[in-house]
Amino acid sequence: EVQLVESGGGLVKPGESLRLSCAASGFTFSSYSMNWVRQAPGKGLEWVSSISSTSNYLYYADSLKDRFTISRDNRKNSLYLQMNSLSAGDTAVYYCARTFDVLTASPPDSWGQGTLVTVSS
């Protein structure tokens, strides 16, 4: 069974940084592209970033590419999201999600339970 478990969320102040992690199990992590998708309270889903299986290709939503960095460690079956210069608009549940199709940024199939990031002074 595919399992994706996010961690690292919490309450931070505007301007601070945070690093999210996603622990994967139940599948061959190194064979799949991965994504981060976020959902602000009461709002819809918003794509954040995607990374190919070997980290050769990194893709970001235009509005976030200057502040967010996606990475992975296939030896540890883990996905990461480094978020800098956080603002209230970044407050959301952040989901880790697996891509199953050939294109890195194609829609995911499996999702984690999400981790809540709250940016507030």
Partner 1 sequence: QSALTQPPSASGSPGQSVTISCSGTSTDVGGYNFVSWYQQHPGKAPKLIIYEVTQRPSGVPDRFSGSKSGNTASLTVSGLQAEDEADYYCSSYADFNILLFGGGTKVTVL
Q: By the criterion CB under 8 A, which residues form the site for partner 1?
A: 35, 37, 44-47, 50, 57, 59, 61-63, 95, 100-101, 103-114
Q: Could you tell me what percentage of the chain is helix, strand and coil, using 3-state DSSP and rounding each to the nearest 5?
A: 5, 50, 45
* Rounded alpha-carbon distances, angstroms, from residue 85 to 15, 49, 53, 56, 100: 4, 17, 27, 25, 31
Please state the closest distance from residue 22 (CB atom) to partner 1, in A: 12
Please state the closest distance from residue 15 (CB atom) to partner 1, in A: 25
The span from the CA of 105 to the CA of 82, in Å, is 19
Please state the closest distance from residue 33 (CB atom) to partner 1, in A: 10
Residue 50 or 78: which CB sits closer to partner 1?
A: 50
